[in-house]
A and B are shown apart, each in its own frame.
Chain A
Amino acid sequence: QSVLTQPPSASGTPGQRVTISCSGSSSNIGSNFVYWYQQFPGTAPKFVIYRNNQRPSGVPDRFSGSKSGTSASLAISGLRSEDEADYYCAAWDDSLSGLVVFGGGTKLTVL
């Protein structure tokens, strides 16, 4: 059971806009930045969003992030076939000595 809650799957057709949610608590999303990773099969995760809504260089502006209270979301507009991947949210959790917490991941399918 992951600390951050994501839907297990999402889908859309090319050109559509899809949103992936991530729900946490006051000790993680509520008090720290949210980060989003994209992971293709057999490869390591890579940032698509950092500090809630910032895009690393090389990530298309079709990707955007937002945060409100203890929830966050990743939006992908103008969906493309190459966006099909697993997406994970992550945050630092202030519980105990602190730890990194992840969402369970969302499998995005481009129909």
Chain B
Amino acid sequence: DVKVTQSSRYLVKRTGEKVFLECVQDMDHENMFWYRQDPGLGLRLIYFSYDVKMKEKGDIPEGYSVSREKKERFSLILESASTNQTSMYLCASCKGGSASYEQYFGPGTRLTVT
């Protein structure tokens, strides 16, 4: 079974803090993604990576950065957390070269910025 793990299930941070969210997958997938999920808005793509040290902006990259130093690990960084970044953050991975692009998700990190 594909397993995607995220470093924290719940996180509370203060405005202005630097926040690191980590994601690890164990299925040797080439592609990894970071989404945020807000009620009524569905999942919105923040960043994705299709290879080590490669990254591309998604639909809402402002205020975020990412790092992919190893194939299995994809980190999301909030440089200076703000209250409008309070959300559920979901990491996903999928195999490269797959015609169906099936994504496998981690359990999510619920981040609250106060």
- The judgment on whether A and B are partners is no
